[in-house]
Amino acid sequence: MIGAIEILIIAIIFGIIYGRDAIDKTFKKHADEGVVESFAVDVKDFYKKDPKRLVLLVAGGVGAFIFVAVGIYWALTRTDILKMIGLQ
């Protein structure tokens, strides 16, 4: 049976391999360009290609953030995590 540590190690290895590929494929910016400028250009290009996809991506991001926030709220209020870490 595969344990959690082994799965985490495999995920890290895949993240390193595919992360480098993604960086190599998408790096097309100038060295003097800042992070915010680069992000703004990427969003503008993404919107020009398909505006509906960008709206769905933003809605999915907001939904994922709300899901995680509610999960954290539930974990803090319904379990004894605060007692375990000494905050109560």
Whole-angstrom Cα distance, residue 79 to residue 72?
A: 11
Cβ(38)–Cβ(29) below 8 Å: yes
At position 53, the amino acid (one-letter code) is: R
pLDDT-derived band at 35, boundaries 50, 70, 90: low
Task: Calculate what percentage of the chain has a pLDDT beyond 90.
Answer: 15
State the average pLDDT for the chain: 78
Whole-angstrom Cα distance, residue 22 to residue 16?
A: 10
Token duo for residue 75: 């974990």
Q: Where are the domains of the chain?
A: 1-30, 32-88
| Whether the model pTM is above 0.75 | no
Token duo for residue 65: 């953030």
DSSP label at residue 28? -
Torsion of CA 10, 13, 17, 19, to 10 degrees: 100
